[in-house]
Structure 1
Amino acid sequence: MGGLILRVSIVLEQRFIHTADGATFDDAHATYAHWQRYLSTFEEVQVVGRSQLVQEVPPGYRRVDGPGVTVLPVPFYQGPLGLLRRWPQVSRALLRGIEPQDAVIVRLAGLLGHLAGSLRFWQRQPFAVEVVNDPYEVYGPGSMHHPLRPVFQQGLTALTRWQCRKAVAVQYVTRQALQRRYPARSEQAAYGVSDVHLPPAAFGSGPRFYTRPARLAVLVGRLEQLHKGADVAIAALAHLRARGHDLRLRIVGDGLLRPDLERQAQQAGVGSFVEFTGQRSTPAEVRQDLREADLFLMPSRHEGLPRALVEAMAQGLPAIGSEVGGIPELLDAAHLVKPGHVDDLARAWQALALDPGTLSRASARNYHLAQTYADDVLDAQRTAFQRAVRAATPRGPGSVRQ
């Protein structure tokens, strides 16, 4: 590296919280352990995202910042219209906080990432892209109900395509799915590697052997919007229990929609058979939920390459998922369902849960496929992307040499 101190600023559509002393926290994957990956290539990491000041840190949140990792808090907003209302303040925060000599990676299709990428292009400064989801699906008819939904869908899909072609390097969380819709130029450095974190502790002892039906299914995800399809899973469970099947559902996660989902379960007559655990404090606690379950459900309305599904597969869980995003790269076609389709999920759930032989075969398949997403397998690809970003960053006058 020649003694050069280079900072990478990573812009993502995350909702952080911070305390008065500047300590920043997240209740999902964007915590310090995730950003440490970039310190193998860059001397400093600046995480850029929305953040709200809080007096107390709720349970389940973990630190984002730490040695070598700082956070640039951006004024908080919600949704495209919220960003438009705070456009001047958010733009100023990005322009002041991201230095021209920084290496910059924007995560798409996040609104903040799109804005940061556009500002870098306007400044004639390079930027790289990590494509983690598909705006064509995020703003699809079944995922969002807003009169401007078609405008958001068309505009952000086109913007994602354009920024992928203008970036100096592109990393996709899928191996094929997102690449087809948002291709990089032939001469660009492009990589297909998941952002899942699978250390050895994330793996179970091996595939499971089933001698009875899979009674307990688990769904893991934020309950802020209907993207994860928890409402579909509850409705499908009601159908199955009405047919006399002794099945239960555990939902791991929290968010604004939890009261509505709890109400839905009660009204459907399955309130006693749906367990809402709330937000777990550590990955180890989520793994315990996965170990206790017999089957994993991911009836999402849209996805990139879902980390929760890969984590479940690493625990040897058979799984059912929607045919969206990168899920078809992970599951057998027999275990894919139409997004938002209650009857289709109920059919697949019943067929898999009641067949111990198929459950055992799916467990073995999923466990072995998850091993190809282990950290020691993917880290080399992640490092190659980071080095391509570093190599494409000009050594301007603001760079510091030791």
Structure 2
Amino acid sequence: MAKLLLSCDDYVFRCNGKYYARTQEKYDFYQRYLRVFDKLRLVTRCVDEKQLGKSRVSLDDSRIEFVPMPFFSGPLQYAKAYYKIYKQLKGITDGCDAAILRLPSTIAQRVCTKVMKSGIPYATELVFDANDAMDNATNPIERLLWSNIHRQMVNACNHADGVACVTEHYLQKHYSSQKLDAFFGHYSSLALDKSFYTGARHFPIGKEISIAHVCTQVQFKGRKGYNEVIEAIAKLKKRGVDVSVNFAGPDYHDGISKLTNLAQTLGVGDRIHFIGGVSRTQLSEYLEKSDIYVMPTWAEGLPRVIIEAMAKGLPCITTPVSGNPELVEEHFLVPYYDTDTLADRIEELTKDVSLYEKTSRVNFERSKKYEASLLEARRDDFYHNLMDKIK
């Protein structure tokens, strides 16, 4: 009976003493580890709710043990929760046979210290490139924070029995294991069911082009390029190119209000829309109604939403960072701050029928590599390799 210790940068909900996942997708995410391991000790942040949210999915499973960490967001809230987390992590590896640490994650990194001291075998799953975040940070404080996270990730991976990356090649340049008998894997955390796929697109004739952008936080001057997209739309308006943008995602630190003001200042308030967070079903419908996916970003792992947009046949424009070049053709990789070229690429797709349809076909075919059953097989192999390390 092998018990896995899992820690990740996520959170669960607790209501009346019972635990819940945010969505069905998150429930399925935890279940994937139980395909190979018999029991799971989950160490992650926890949000207490007096009244259960509508999208919550029960995690009532006798095989899952919860170690709830205080919920925090950002360095200041983390500092306040630091000592409480310290107490919660006492004896965290007791009774566990192996560990998986999903990085970067503040909680998982602290768990890693305990795991390394305990001597149980462990693996890392890398979902984001802290090195790129460090290099492209917009201010010295962010750069310092990401530099520290990057060093911690390098150290965690150097001593790991196994290292898996969401990219096929890129993250591996920065993170690997120095153990002679280490094993390696690559797979996205995406679970893209065949039913999600549509097909290549025909050029949208006779309608205003609709741009999609999806993120978990709508943040002013954030790393996902909201400001840059709005600036590009303003430049397109001056060229006489009519396009609109629907930003999907929940508000973060009053980002929607600030971005709305920016759009109005630039004269494109009527072309910028914020639709809030979307469920899995809503995401599918939202992407199907869109014509182009645009996401300038200064750091990623392998962005799931770009793969999802490709599965809907959308031409995609992003930046040449992290795993993005593994997904998108070079012509549509635009430097983060180059809003002139970003506007050029959008304009090309609105006017060149052949380019639009060719890009759609290429993207759709590439997305097939990330179908759920293919990724599931690679994940299971990686987890079985960790099982083999248990003494």
Q: TM-score over 0.5 for the alignment?
A: yes
Deviation at 1:332, TM superposition (A): 0.3
For residues 271-286 of structure 1, what are the structure 2 equivalents within 5 Å?
271-280=269-278, 282-286=279-283
Residues 45, 341 of structure 1: alpha-carbon distance in 2 compared, 3 angstrom cutoff: farther
Residues 32 and 69 of structure 1 are in contact (CA less than 8 Å); yes or no, is this contact kept in structure 2? Answer: no
| Alignment match of 1:208 (pick from 196, 201, 204) | 201
Deviation per CA, 1:201-221, whole angstroms, max 9, x where unpaired? 1111x2112163870110011
Amino acid at match of 2:249: G
Match of 1:357 among 350, 354, 375: 354
Helix, strand or coil at the partner of 1:249: strand
Cα 1:246/1:233, change in 2 over 3 Å = same
Residue 15 of structure 2: which of 14, 19, 23 is its match?
19
Moved more, 330-339 or 253-262: 253-262
The answer to whether the aligner puts 1:219 opposite 2:222 as a matched pair is no
Q: How far 1:292 moved relative to its partner?
A: 0.4
In structure 2, the residue matched to 1:369 is: 366
Task: List per-residue Cα deviations over 1:54-113 (Å, max 9, x = no partner).
Answer: 223445x43262434454320122334543443222122233454342421111121212
Matches of 2:90 and 2:46 in 1, distance apart? 17
Q: Does 1:10 align with 2:6?
A: yes
Q: Does 1:65 align with 2:59?
A: yes
Counterparts of 2:141 and 2:203 in 1: how far apart (Å)?
A: 48
- In structure 2, what is the equivalent of residue 391 of structure 1? 388
CA 1:346–1:142 in 2, change beyond 3 Å: closer, same or farther? farther
Structure 2 residue matching 1:208: 3-state secondary structure: coil
Q: 1:52 to 1:140 in 2, by over 3 A?
A: farther
Distance 1:341 1:28 in 2: 38
Structure 1: 5+ residue runs without aligned partners? 395-402
Measured after TM superposition, the shift of residue 122 of structure 1 is 2.4
Q: How many residues align?
A: 384
| Residues 69 and 318 (structure 1), Cα distance of their counterparts in 2 relative to 1, 3 Å cut | farther
- Secondary structure, in 3 states, of the residue corresponding to 2:90? helix
Does residue 1:45 correspond to 2:23, yes or no?
no
CA contact 1:80–1:111 (8 Å) conserved in 2: no
1:332-377 superposed Cα distances (whole Å, 9 cap, x missing partner): 0001011243223212222223211111011111111111110121
Does 1:334 find its partner at 2:331? yes
Question: Please, which runs of 5 or more residues in structure 2 have no aligned partner?
Answer: none
Summarize deviations over 1:122-146 as a string: whole Å, max 9, x none.
Answer: 2333321001111122344445x3x
1:55 aligns with 2:50: yes
For the residue of structure 2 that corresponds to 1:95, the secondary structure is coil
For normalisation by structure 1, the TM-score amounts to 0.89
Q: What SS class does the counterpart of residue 386 from structure 1 fall into?
A: helix
Q: Distance in 1 between matches of 2:92 and 2:155?
A: 24
CA distance in 2, matches of 1:374, 1:246: 34
2:168 counterpart (170, 175, 190): 175
Aligned to 2:182: 188
Higher relative contact order (CA 8 A, sep 6+): 1
Within a 5 Å distance, the mapping from 1:109-258 to structure 2 comes to 109-143=104-138, 145=139, 147-185=140-178, 187-204=181-198, 206-210=199-203, 212=205, 215-223=209-217, 225=219, 226-256=222-252, 257-258=255-256
What displacement does 1:330 show?
Answer: 0.2
CA 1:236 to 1:53, structure 2 compared with 1: closer, same or farther past 3 Å? same
Q: Does the CA-based 8 Å contact 2:161-2:177 persist in structure 1?
A: no
Which runs of 4 or more aligned residues in structure 1 lie more than 4 Å from their structure 2 counterparts after TM superposition? none
Shift of 1:114: 1.2
Give the 3 Å change call, closer, same or farther, for CA 82–138 of structure 1 in structure 2. Answer: farther
Tell me the CA shift for residue 222 of structure 1: 1.6
Deviating more after overlay: 184-193 vs 321-330? 184-193
With normalisation by structure 2, the TM-score equals 0.91
2:343 matches 1:346: yes
Aligned counterparts of 1:362 and 1:34: Cα–Cα separation in 2: 31
Coordinate RMSD, CA, aligned = 2.2
Q: Kindly, what percent of the aligned residue pairs are identical? A: 25
Structure 2 residue aligned with 1:312: 309
**Once the 2 structures are TM-superposed, how far is the Cα of residue 326 of structure 1 from its aligned partner?**
0.5
Alpha-carbon distance in structure 2 between the residues aligned to 1:197 and 1:151: 34
CA distance in 2 between partners of 1:165 and 1:64 (Å): 36
Question: Does structure 2 retain, via aligned residues, the 8 Å contact 1:300–1:340?
Answer: no
Q: Per-residue deviation at 1:41? A: 0.3
Corresponding letter in the other structure for 2:84 = Q
